[in-house]
Amino acid sequence: DAKTTQPPSMDCAEGRAANLPCNHSTISGNEYVYWYRQIHSQGPQYIIHGLKNNETNEMASLIITEDRKSSTLILPHATLRDTAVYYCIVRVNAGNMLTFGGGTRLMVKP
């Protein structure tokens, strides 16, 4: 599976949009981009995933660049409860396990 690069930490003001970047320049054509988050002392939680089209669900939006070498997770109106470590994972659809990188520690501040 392709490797991802994320900034180690970011701050965001409560109520503002949080934009979390991820670089995956070695992504293959059959690899998807997944985002999970982990709130302190809890198990990871699935957020969203996509292949090449932008995706949106009730939690977030995922913007993937045309060349698919990077993506951005957008939390449109961040709340204090969105404070967590966000993991960007690139993997083949049929893979049977998740490989976590370093993630981005997002701190939402009042």
Partner 1 sequence: GAVVSQHPSRVICKSGTSVKIECRSLDFQATTMFWYRQFPKKSLMLMATSNEGSKATYEQGVEKDKFLINHASLTLSTLTVTSAHPEDSSFYICSAIPPGTDINYGYTFGSGTRLTVV
Strand-strand pairing, 9-13 and 31-38: unpaired
Q: Which is nearer to partner 1, 18 or 48 (CB)?
A: 48
Q: How far, in Å, are 38, 43, 108 from residue 100 at the CA level?
A: 11, 12, 22
- Does 32 help bind partner 1 (rule: CB under 8 A)? yes
Per CB under 8 A, the list member of 46, 54, 56, 65 interacting with partner 1 is: 46
Min dist. Cβ of residue 36 to partner 1 (A): 8
- Does 86 help bind partner 1 (rule: CB under 8 A)? no
The conformational region for residue 4 under phi > 0 = left, psi -120 to 50 = alpha, else beta, is beta
- 98 token code pair: 């998740």
By the criterion CB under 8 A, which residues form the site for partner 1?
Answer: 32, 34, 38, 41-46, 49, 87, 93-94, 96-103
